[in-house]
Structure 1
Amino acid sequence: MADEEYLNDGAEASADGPRLNALDRKITDVFPGFTVRKDLVSKVKGNALVPTYVLEYLLSSYAASTDRLNIEAGVERVRGILADNYVHREEANLIQSKIREKGSHSVIDRVQVTLNDKTDTYEATFSNLGIGQVVVDPAIVKANPKLLVTGVWCMCRVGYAYSGDPREVPWKLLQLKPVQMSRDDRDNYMSQRARFTDGEWIDLLMQSIGFNPDLFSDRAKLLHLVRMVPFVERNYNLVELGPKGTGKSHIYSEFSPHGMLISGGEVTVAKLFVNNSTSKLGLVGYWDTVAFDEFAGKAKKAGRDLVDIMKNYMANKSFSRGVDTFQGEASMVFVGNTSHNVPYMLKNSDLFEELPSQYHDPAFLDRVHFYLPGWEFEQIRSEMFTTGFGFVVDYLAEILHNLRDVDYSDRFEKYFELSSTLSTRDKDGIRKTFSGLMKLIYPTGEATAEQMEPLLCCAIEGRKRVKDQLCRIDQTMEEVEFTYRRVDGDGSVGPDAIAVRTLEELDYPQLYWRGRVAEGPEDRNAAATAVDATADAGGPDGFAAVPNGASTAAVPMGHGAGNATPSTVRPEAPARMTPIERLAAKADGKRKELLDNQRGVTYYRLFGPYLAGASRILVKDAYVRVPYQLRNFAEFLETALRCKDPDKDVVEVHLVTGRNDPEYRTAQMDGLEQLQSAYSQYGVNLTFEFSDTLHDRSIASDTGWLILPGRGLDIFQKFDDGNWLNPLIRNQQLRRVRECTIAYQRIDEK
Structure 2
Amino acid sequence: MTSSNLQSYDSDRVRQVFRALSIDKTRLPSSGLTGAGVPSFVAEWLLDKIIPGNGPLSTQESDKIHDFVRKAFPRKDDRNVISFKLTQGEVCKIIALLQVRVRLERGKGEIPDPFATIPVLNLTECSISTDLIERYEALLRQGVWGKISLGLLSDGTPEVIDFDPFQCSKVDLTAYADCRDRFSSQEWRDLMLCSMGYNPEHLAYNHHAKTWMLARLLPLVESNFHVMELAPKGTGKSYVFENISNKVALVSGGKVTPAQLFINGRTKEVGLLGRHDVVVLDEVQSLTFDNPSEVIGPLKNYLASGRYNRSGFSDISSDCSLVMLANIELDADLRPRHPNHLVANLPDFFSETAFLDRFAGIIPGWEIPKFNRDMVAFQTGLKMDFFGEALLSLRQDNRYQSYAQQHTLFDGTATVRDQNAILKSAAGFLKILYPHLKLTVMDYERDCLEPARQLRQWIRNSLFHLDDEFRQYGPEIRIGSR
Q: Shared fold (TM-score greater than 0.5)? A: yes
Q: Are 1:338 and 2:331 matched, yes or no?
A: no
**What is the distance in 2 between the residues matched to 1:5 and 1:225?**
16
Identify which range, 274-283 or 463-472, moves more after superposition.
Answer: 274-283
Distance change (3 Å), C-alpha of 1:278 and 1:145: farther
1:201 to 188, 200, 217: 188
2:395 maps to 404
Displacement of 1:111 after TM fit?
A: 2.9
1:290 maps to 279
Distance change (3 Å), C-alpha of 1:359 and 1:178: farther
2:264 maps to 275
**What is the distance in 2 between the residues matched to 1:413 and 1:336?**
31
1:157-200 residue CA offsets vs partner (Å, 9 max, x unmatched) = 11245x3xxxx225221112333110322221111111101111
Identify which range, 219-228 or 78-87, moves more after superposition.
Answer: 78-87
CA contact (8 A) 2:142 2:247 kept: no
1:475 maps to 468
**What is the distance in 2 between the residues matched to 1:154 and 1:425?**
41
The TM-score normalised by the length of structure 1 is 0.58
Distance change (3 Å), C-alpha of 1:147 and 1:268: farther
Q: Secondary structure at the match of 1:383?
A: helix
2:235 to 246, 267, 270: 246
1:219 maps to 208
1:395 to 386, 389, 392: 386
Q: Are 1:432 and 2:424 matched, yes or no?
A: yes
2:318 maps to 328
**What is the distance in 2 between the residues matched to 1:302 and 1:458?**
36
1:652-675 residue CA offsets vs partner (Å, 9 max, x unmatched) = xxxxxxxxxxxxxxxxxxxxxxxx
2:302 maps to 313
1:496 maps to none
2:113 maps to 121
**What is the distance in 1 between the residues matched to 2:5 and 2:139?**
50
1:140-165 residue CA offsets vs partner (Å, 9 max, x unmatched) = 3445455456654332011245x3xx
Larger CA Rg, structure 1 vs 2 = 1
**What is the distance in 2 between the residues matched to 1:64 and 1:202?**
26
CA contact (8 A) 2:142 2:276 kept: no
2:361 to 367, 370, 384: 370
Q: Calculate the aligned-residue CA RMSD, in Å.
A: 2.8
Q: Secondary structure at the match of 1:368?
A: coil
1:51 maps to 39
Displacement of 1:64 after TM fit?
A: 4.6
CA contact (8 A) 2:453 2:477 kept: yes
CA contact (8 A) 2:328 2:336 kept: no
1:257 to 227, 246, 267: 246
**What is the distance in 1 between the residues matched to 2:324 and 2:290?**
15
Distance change (3 Å), C-alpha of 1:66 and 1:335: same
**AA paired with 2:173?**
R
1:90-148 residue CA offsets vs partner (Å, 9 max, x unmatched) = 34434444555572121012334344557822222323334442211234344545545
Residues 274-673 of structure 1: matches in 2 within 5 Å? 274-297=263-286, 303-321=292-310, 322=312, 324-341=314-331, 345-346=337-338, 350-407=341-398, 408-454=400-446, 455-478=448-471, 479-480=473-474, 481-487=476-482
Displacement of 1:74 after TM fit?
A: 6.3
Displacement of 1:457 after TM fit?
A: 0.4
**What is the distance in 2 between the residues matched to 1:297 and 1:275?**
23
Q: May I ask how many residue pairs the two structures share in their alignment?
A: 467
**AA paired with 1:482?**
I
Q: Secondary structure at the match of 1:371?
A: strand
2:151 maps to 159
1:109 to 88, 96, 99: 96
Q: Write 1 or 2 for the structure with the bigger share of helix.
A: 2
CA contact (8 A) 1:223 1:372 kept: yes
The TM-score normalised by the length of structure 2 is 0.88
**What is the distance in 1 between the residues matched to 2:163 and 2:79?**
19
Distance change (3 Å), C-alpha of 1:249 and 1:5: closer
Distance change (3 Å), C-alpha of 1:344 and 1:292: closer
Displacement of 1:75 after TM fit?
A: 5.7
**AA paired with 2:221?**
V
CA contact (8 A) 1:418 1:484 kept: yes
**What is the distance in 2 between the residues matched to 1:243 and 1:305?**
30
1:140 maps to 132
**Structure 2: runs of 5+ lacking an equivalent:** none
**AA paired with 1:48?**
A
1:403-437 residue CA offsets vs partner (Å, 9 max, x unmatched) = 10113124245544222331110001100110111
1:79 maps to 66
**AA paired with 2:305?**
N
Distance change (3 Å), C-alpha of 1:42 and 1:139: same
**What is the distance in 1 between the residues matched to 2:243 and 2:5?**
33
**Structure 1: runs of 5+ lacking an equivalent:** 10-21, 488-750
CA contact (8 A) 2:256 2:288 kept: no
1:89 to 68, 72, 76: 76
CA contact (8 A) 2:4 2:186 kept: no
Which fold has the larger relative contact order, with Cα–Cα distance below 8 Å and residues 6 or more apart in sequence? 2
Sequence identity (%): 27
Displacement of 1:451 after TM fit?
A: 1.1
CA contact (8 A) 1:292 1:333 kept: yes
2:164 maps to 177
